[in-house]
Amino acid sequence: MTPLNARSIAIVGGDGIGPEVTAQGRRILALVAEKRSLPMKLMDVDYGSDAYKKHGRLLPQSTRVAMSEADAILFGATGGPAFDAIPAPVRKAESLLAVRRDFDLFANLRPVKTMPALYEASSLKRRVLDGVDMVIVRELLGGVYFGEPRGIETLPDGERRGVNTHAYTASQIRRVARAAFDLARTRRGRVCSVAKENVMEAGRLWREEVQSVHDAEYADVELSHMLADNCAMQLVRAPAQFDVIVTDNLFGDILSDCAAMATGSLGMLPSASLGPFQKSERRAALYEPVHGSAPDIAGKGLANPVGSILSVAMMFRFSLGLPAEADLIERAISDALVSGARTADIANGGKHVSTEDMGDVVVSKLTSLLT
Ligand code: NAD
């Protein structure tokens, strides 16, 4: 029987490489729970194209219940060819976007931190990699991914037209701005707000609302503004200049993949998607690597599990209230990389280990640190 004060975690592998990398994140969760005698209930649940084959649902009811009862969710990835073959109404109603909306996960934190052991794997020069340590805070429930109207229509002259709507309310902007300012207060105290206010009205509102929240509530935090196209350039020119970036759903999606290359691979990046605090001080939280289902390498043991394992570290920090354990997980990854363990994406064409072997090395380093 599960002890009453046990923390429950829903484990959702999903599609493509999702289950492969999540299995390694799960091992880390279980290891810390065992070594620290933490009562923890890990609930493995189905999601994605395999769930659709089994249950006729992408998101079976049992998975939805487990996710809503859990203290935190560890998610793998979604998407890919099998997913694309599922009828559009099912995909729309039960997609990861719908999960984010249903759990009100509005703030997506994407840390990007370089490690000297991986400088050679980065596409950027060593001299720009020193000191890169930023968090991109991406608004996750607004903008063009959710805006209505949307769709593909045929005009009277027979021409087809695709429509998406980029829209933000002031309150959507203000709550993610607060999340970014709060985070900056725990770091180096700087926020850069990124939009395209020069050509987009929603971008102008973004800038005005972020500035207004700053002036009224966070004058101790340094705020700057940058156009999104300039930010893309600055991320490869001088990425160490950033502390916290706050930006919308689309720009956050794109800029974080771009920033990932400072670390050597998209497979290195974790994320936390957080909801608002409830009266009980609890908040819904979903942790997942930034990458997708990577159909090109799925099932081959080639996926880098570090993004998933670092997502578990974020879970210890933001949902389980155990920042020291989060630090140890991050140190175990650093130790594993210093010892030379590399998955193919960060091996520069050299010797590499499988997804599971990489998990073994991190487990072994963490075991030493926890004892
Ligand atoms: P992707 O992130 O899946 O892959 C991009 C590239 O990075 C690929 O070459 C892939 O092999 C590589 N890569 C990604 N993760 C890796 C890892 N852990 N280790 C080593 N290499 C890794 O993006 P994509 O190919 O553009 O999209 C594939 C599918 O994933 C699409 O259906 C897309 O919609 C979906 N997607 C899902 C999420 C999510 O689940 N949150 C995020 C992005 C994309």
* pLDDT tens digits in sequence order for the chain, 371 residues long: 555 578 999 999 999 999 999 999 999 999 999 999 999 999 999 999 999 999 999 999 999 999 999 999 999 999 999 999 999 999 989 999 999 999 999 999 999 999 999 999 999 999 999 999 999 999 999 999 999 999 999 999 999 999 999 999 999 999 999 999 999 999 999 999 999 999 999 999 999 999 999 999 999 999 999 999 999 999 999 999 999 999 999 999 999 999 999 999 999 999 999 999 998 888 999 999 999 999 999 999 999 999 999 999 999 999 999 999 999 999 999 999 999 999 999 999 999 999 999 999 999 999 999 98
Cis peptide before 149 (omega within 30 of 0): yes
Rounded Cα–Cα distance for residues 206 and 78 (Å): 29
CA distances from 236 to 8, 104, 121, 148, 224 (A): 39, 32, 15, 33, 19
pLDDT at site 10: 98
Q: Which of 257, 327, 357, 360 is catalytic?
A: 257
**253 assigned to active site:** yes
Q: Which domain holds residue 365?
A: 1-106+267-371
Rounded Cα–Cα distance for residues 244 and 224 (Å): 10
pLDDT at site 284: 96
Rounded Cα–Cα distance for residues 75 and 14 (Å): 7
pLDDT at site 254: 97
Same domain, 254 and 320: no
Pocket (CB within 6 angstroms of ligand 1):
17, 21, 77-80, 96, 265-267, 288, 291-297, 303-304, 307, 345
Rounded Cα–Cα distance for residues 133 and 112 (Å): 6
**145 assigned to active site:** yes
C-beta separation of 88 from 51 below 8 A: no
**257 assigned to active site:** yes
Q: Which residues of 329-348 are buried (b: 16+ CB within 10 A; e: fewer)?
A: bbebbbbbbeeebbbbbbbe
Rounded Cα–Cα distance for residues 254 and 247 (Å): 11
Residue 217, domain member (yes or no): yes
Q: Which of 71, 248, 253, 335 is catalytic?
A: 253
Rounded Cα–Cα distance for residues 340 and 332 (Å): 13
Same domain, 21 and 150: no
Atom of ligand 1 nearest to the CA of 83: 32
Residue 114, domain member (yes or no): no
Same domain, 202 and 159: yes
Q: Whose CA is nearest to atom 33 of ligand 1?
A: 79
pLDDT at site 4: 57
Residue 183, domain member (yes or no): yes
Please report the sign of the dihedral spanned by the C-alpha atoms of residue 223, residue 229, residue 234, residue 239: positive
Total domain count for the chain?
A: 2
pLDDT at site 289: 97
Same domain, 254 and 128: yes
Atom of ligand 1 nearest to the CA of 306: 18
Same domain, 228 and 282: no
Same domain, 256 and 276: no
Q: Whose CA is nearest to atom 26 of ligand 1?
A: 292
CA of 140 from ligand 1 middle (Å) equals 18
Residue 249, domain member (yes or no): yes
Same domain, 176 and 287: no
C-beta separation of 32 from 320 below 8 A: no
CA of 292 from ligand 1 middle (Å) equals 3
Rounded Cα–Cα distance for residues 304 and 309 (Å): 10
pLDDT at site 142: 98
Which of 217, 246, 262 represents a domain boundary (last residue)?
Answer: 262
Q: Which residues pair with 227 in a beta bridge?
A: 195
Neighbouring C-beta atoms of residue 137, cutoff 10 Å: 27
User: What type of residue is 190?
Assistant: R
Same domain, 247 and 289: no
Which of 215, 242, 262 represents a domain boundary (last residue)?
Answer: 262
Rounded Cα–Cα distance for residues 223 and 192 (Å): 6
Name the residue with tokens 């805070």: 137
Same domain, 127 and 59: no
CA of 223 from ligand 1 middle (Å) equals 32
Residue 155: which CATH number?
3.40.718.10
- H helices within 85-227, ranges in order? 88-94, 96-102, 126-129, 170-185, 201-217
Q: Which of 145, 168, 218, 287 is catalytic?
A: 145
Residue 74, domain member (yes or no): yes
Residue 113, domain member (yes or no): no
20 in helix, strand or coil? helix
Which of 352, 332, 337, 290 has the alpha carbon at shortest distance from 21? Answer: 290
Beta strand extents in the chain (DSSP E only): 7-14, 40-45, 72-77, 107-113, 133-139, 147-154, 160-165, 190-195, 222-227, 244-247, 270-274, 285-289
**50 assigned to active site:** no
CA distances from 138 to 105, 156, 176, 186, 201 (A): 11, 38, 8, 18, 19
Atom of ligand 1 nearest to the CA of 15: 40
Q: Which two tokens stand for residue 331?
A: 């140190």
C-beta separation of 41 from 9 below 8 A: yes
Same domain, 278 and 250: no
**168 assigned to active site:** no
Rounded Cα–Cα distance for residues 274 and 281 (Å): 13
